[in-house]
Every structure is written in structure tokens, then in C-alpha cells.
């Protein structure tokens, strides 16, 4: 009897299918940074007469010479200097490239002072030179105050009764309550929100800067639970979901009227647009989507929330990285100097004036010093014992 012909289950993958998964394996921002700096390095090499490609360099001494020359003259397209952070990003990006599969000299460590002494000396000198000229400071996003948040939510630009207003209101909720990083707004999908039985929402962040979920990290998605206690906010989310067309794109943010996801460039400008629409002062301030994340950290710290409690929402993996988001010490400096200036400028004032307790810096027992869990427990226990009245 002839054999029964089986239906084929598999087909040979197309080139598009073969390239899809390797592209998913890439950390997009890291890939973009690497490509950006290698392109700049190649632009320099082309301008000075090098014909071969960067990956064709097969001698570490030749690479060191070319990198020394490149970093000695590297500047932006408008002729202004790069910042120190950009300089550090550049050397890391180029180092990644020369340790990738296309490199003929891998493995290398361009920051190894023994292997690349001249390059490290050039980088060290340029870093110090840029810092002296004021290019070493980090200018992150600014946060919003409690008053500014309330002003935005009370403005007609975030009205629940218009498609655009509801879109911006929900965006602000996501920016602050979920502490989303700037680019996470674009990758946010409707499926990330799951309704709980109690009426609240669990928001799953399946992949993020600190949770890439590849072969080296098979952990679970980060989850942020929106409590049901505030019925107004829950109702706003439910209204937003109910207004979505059935055939809409899976992206969380849609055009105010339509089924298509809002483009990345527009989403990236949401916070700035919202601030301008609602009359928030943007002069000398950097208002980006990241401002919502910084707002959550600083306002929760104002309310006395612990670092651990804040990190459960921000998904920071270390307290040192969380500290970069905390409020700068400008306020303490201003209050302290104001007290001193007031005393010195008032002729009749006594110099024996106590600085208000609220303006004093913490003592060495609590300032910038680590205490173990046992030390904290013992201190709290001793405090409780002192508060018990004698029998």
C-alpha cells in the first residue's frame, strides 16, 4: 500500500523571519548608541583620508592612534563640545563595537590603562578639560510640584469629556503613578493593563531597561498595582478603555480620534506639550516624559516615603541609582544661606541666633551613613523603652 502523504508542518523561514529574532535580542538604545558613535568615528576617518571600514582595523596600536586623534578633535556638528557624559558614552559604544562579532581584534578593553595608555591619557585630559569648562554636569528632566500637577489636572486640556483631554489625563497618570521611563510610553500596550477582581488594575511591564528578559535574565515581568481606593482615577482609566475602537492598534496611546497608535515622536513630546497647554512654566526647565518618573520620586520623598517603598514603583535595582532622582540640596542651601544673610544684614540682630531645626543638616549619625537592620531595630527599640512611663 502506498504511504499516506503527511501534511507539512514547517516551512523554511524567510529572511525577514530570520532577522526578526536577532533584532529583538538587541537592546535598542544600546544598539543605536553604538551605531551612532561608530558612524561618527568613521566620519572622522573618512575626512582624514582612511579608506577602510572601522571593522577592518586589525591592529590594536593602529586603533589606539586613530581613537586618540578622533577624541582630540571630536565635537558636535555645530562646533560645540560634547559633554563628559557623551564622551563616556562614546568610548563605551566604540568598545562594544570592537568586542562584537565583526571585530578582528576582540577581546579588547579600551579603558584598560595598561593596554591603551595613550588613549586613556587623552580621555582623562579631555574629561577634565570639559569639566572645567562646565560640560561635566548632568542636566536631567525637572520634576513637577504638587501645585503644578493639580493645575494640570484641573485644566481643560486634560478634560475627561474630550478625546484629547482624556488622552493627556491618562498619560499624566501613567507618567507619575507608573513612573514610566521616557521610552516606555511608546512601548506600552493595552494588554499591559489587567483588571483585578477588586476593580483596580495590575500593570505589567514585560521588558524594561533594568529587566531585559533574555537568556541571561529569565525573571518575571515587573508589576505595578493601581489601587481601587481612588474611584475617580479608576473611572478615568475605565472610560479611556471603553472609548477605544474594537479594531484599534494594540498600542496604549491612540490618536485622539481614530484607531491608529500615536507615532513615537508625538508620544515623546506629550509631557512638554501638556505643560505648554496648561501654562506650566517651562523656562530654564527640562520638561520631558521622564519628568513624571522624577516627579513621583521627589514627591513621595517629600511625603516621607522610604527608598524601598519608592523603588517598588520605580523598579530601581539599587538605591544609588534611585538617589539620582531625589530632590537636589538647593532648597537646604538657600534656607541656610538665607538665615545667615538675614542675620548679617540686620544691624540690630544678635549674632547669638539659633538656626531653625528644619534648616539644619542631619548629624553624622544619620547623614550619608549606612546602618544595618539590627542597628535600626535596636535604636527603635531603645526609643520605645524610653517612651514607657515608669511604674
d(CA 270, CA 275): 9
Q: To 5 degrees, how large is the angle CA 347–CA 353–CA 355?
A: 125
pLDDT at 354: 54
Q: Closest Cα to residue 13, out of 21, 2, 5, 23?
A: 21
| CB distance 37 to 90 below 8 Å | yes
Residues 6+ apart with CB under 8 A from 359: 332, 335, 336, 339
Cell numbers placing 160: 475627561
pLDDT at 357: 53
Cell numbers placing 78: 555645530
Instruction: Compute the Cα dihedral for 19, 20, 21, 22 and give only its sign.
Output: positive
- DSSP conformation class of 223: E
pLDDT at 99: 96
Cell numbers placing 390: 515608669
What is the mean pLDDT for each group of 10 consecutive residues in the chain (391 residues)?
73 87 81 94 94 93 96 93 94 96 94 96 95 84 94 96 95 96 91 95 86 70 92 96 92 85 91 95 92 93 91 87 74 81 74 51 46 54 52 48
Q: To 5 degrees, how large is the angle CA 156–CA 159–CA 163?
A: 120
d(CA 148, CA 202): 27
Question: Which CATH code fits 146-323?
Answer: 1.10.443.10
Domain ranges of the chain: 15-132, 146-323, 330-381
Cell numbers placing 20: 526578526
Neighbours of 76 (CB within 10 A): 11
pTM, two decimals, is 0.71
Cβ-based burial of 98 (10 A; exposed 0-12, middle 13-18, buried ≥19): buried
d(CA 236, CA 242): 10
Q: Closest Cα to residue 110, out of 119, 100, 102?
A: 119
Q: How far is CA 286 from CA 35, 205, 313, 324, in A?
A: 26, 26, 23, 16
Amino acid at each position: 500500500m502506498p504511504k499516506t502523504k503527511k501534511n507539512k508542518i514547517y516551512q523554511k523561514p524567510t529572511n525577514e523571519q530570520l532577522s526578526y529574532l536577532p533584532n529583538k535580542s538587541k537592546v535598542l538604545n544600546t544598539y543605536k548608541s553604538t551605531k551612532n558613535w561608530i558612524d561618527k568615528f568613521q566620519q572622522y576617518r573618512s575626512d582624514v583620508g582612511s579608506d577602510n571600514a572601522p571593522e577592518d582595523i586589525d591592529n590594536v596600536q593602529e586603533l589606539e592612534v586613530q581613537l586618540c586623534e578622533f577624541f582630540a578633535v571630536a565635537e558636535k556638528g555645530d562646533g560645540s563640545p560634547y559633554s563628559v557624559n557623551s564622551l563616556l558614552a562614546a568610548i563605551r559604544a566604540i568598545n562594544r563595537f570592537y568586542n562584537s562579532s565583526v571585530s578582528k581584534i576582540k577581546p579588547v578593553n579600551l579603558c584598560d590603562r595598561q593596554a591603551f595608555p595613550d588613549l586613556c591619557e587623552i580621555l582623562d585630559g579631555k574629561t577634565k578639560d570639559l569639566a572645567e569648562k562646565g560640560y561635566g554636569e548632568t542636566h536631567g528632566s525637572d520634576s513637577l510640584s504638587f501645585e503644578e500637577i493639580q493645575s494640570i489636572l484641573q485644566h481643560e486640556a486634560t478634560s475627561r469629556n474630550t478625546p484629547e483631554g482624556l488622552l493627556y489625563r491618562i498619560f499624566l497618570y501613567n507618567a507619575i503613578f507608573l513612573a514610566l521611563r521616557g521610552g516606555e510610553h511608546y512601548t506600552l500596550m493595552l494588554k499591559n493593563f489587567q483588571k483585578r477582581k477588586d476593580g483596580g488594575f495590575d500593570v505589567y511591564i514585560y521588558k524594561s531597561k533594568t529587566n531585559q528578559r533574555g537568556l541571561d535574565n529569565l525573571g518575571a515581568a515587573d508589576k505595578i498595582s493601581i489601587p481601587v481606593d481612588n474611584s475617580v482615577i479608576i473611572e478615568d482609566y475605565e472610560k479611556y478603555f471603553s472609548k477605544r475602537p474594537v479594531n484599534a492598534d494594540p498600542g496604549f496611546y491612540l490618536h485622539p480620534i481614530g484607531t491608529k497608535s500615536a507615532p513615537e515622536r508625538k508620544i515623546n513630546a506629550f509631557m512638554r506639550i501638556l505643560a505648554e497647554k496648561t501654562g506650566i512654566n517651562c523656562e530654564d526647565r527640562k520638561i520631558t516624559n521622564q519628568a513624571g518618573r522624577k516627579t513621583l520620586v521627589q514627591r513621595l520623598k517629600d511625603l516621607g516615603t522610604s527608598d524601598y517603598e519608592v523603588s517598588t514603583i520605580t523598579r530601581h535595582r539599587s538605591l544609588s541609582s534611585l538617589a539620582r532622582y531625589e530632590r537636589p540640596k538647593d532648597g537646604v542651601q538657600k534656607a541656610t544661606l538665607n538665615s545667615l544673610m538675614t542675620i548679617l544684614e540686620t544691624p540690630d540682630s544678635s549674632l547669638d541666633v539659633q538656626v531653625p531645626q528644619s534648616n539644619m543638616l542631619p548629624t553624622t549619625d544619620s547623614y550619608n551613613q549606612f546602618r544595618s537592620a539590627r542597628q535600626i531595630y535596636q535604636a527603635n527599640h531603645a526609643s520605645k523603652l524610653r517612651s514607657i512611663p515608669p511604674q
